[in-house]
A = this chain, B = another copy of it.
Amino acid sequence: MRKLLHSEISGLRLNPDDPALSERHPVTLILHNIRSLYNVGSIFRTADSALLKEVVLCGFTPHPPRKEIDKTALGATQTVPWRYFHKIEDAINTLKSESNKILALEITDEQRNYQSITTGEFPLCLVLGNELTGIDDDVLALCDGSIEIPMYGTKHSLNVAVAAGIAAYELVSVWRGSYKD
């Protein structure tokens, strides 16, 4: 077993001008009031890898161009479609008008497991909230539901970029029907 060379991996990836990049998975991440440039950059990188449809930045979430985001995103701000809305209400209304289902990644009284999503629920947007305070109830009221990642230990939450990655790859896996092959 040996690690693939950079040149070999490059051959496995899409070029930024590859038409296949337009066939993105029908999953959008909505980042509301995320504080950390590092988390935003890391989420862009995940959105590239998981070939997500879009990243939507809202509220005080920092948005490109910011060199700190670009540094962490390793260029993914150039390859992932993104939009910025000052008000998350405008973002959610726009995305609903584009036929998306809006789910919050939050611990609510709905308590639906992140692995319960079915293919009929796409296209789908996942709302990610502030690192400390999560998603406010007035934003939850605009969502069609919520999902959560089980916390088996003592703590209350995962890092937001880690949680986004776990949920995004699970949704992509469901969409691609990996478990039906």
Contacts and interface: CB of A to CB of B under 8 A. Distances in A.
A177 B71 CA distance: 39
A134 B9 CA distance: 13
Interface string A31-47: 00000001000100111
Contacts of A137: 2-3
Most B Cβ at <10 Å: residue of A149, A153, A158, A170: A153
A167 to B, nearest CB: 9
Interface stretch (A59-67, A90-98, A103-111, A117-125): A103-111
Contact of A154 (B14, B151, B158): B14
Interface residues of A, number: 68
B3 A48 contact: no
A34 B80 CA distance: 27
A45 B173 CA distance: 24
B159 A79 contact: no
Interface string A1-19: 1111010011011111010
A49 interface: yes
Contacts of A48: 153-155
Contact of A109 (B2, B46, B50, B79): B2
A15 B155 CA distance: 9
Given A159-B46, A161-B159, A166-B165, A1 B141 contact: yes
A155 B2 contact: no
B162 A42 contact: yes
Contacts of A163: 165
Given A1-B108, A48-B154, 11 more contacts: A1-B109, A1-B145, A2-B108, A3-B106, A3-B107, A3-B136, A3-B140, A10-B156, A21-B153, A51-B153, A115-B178
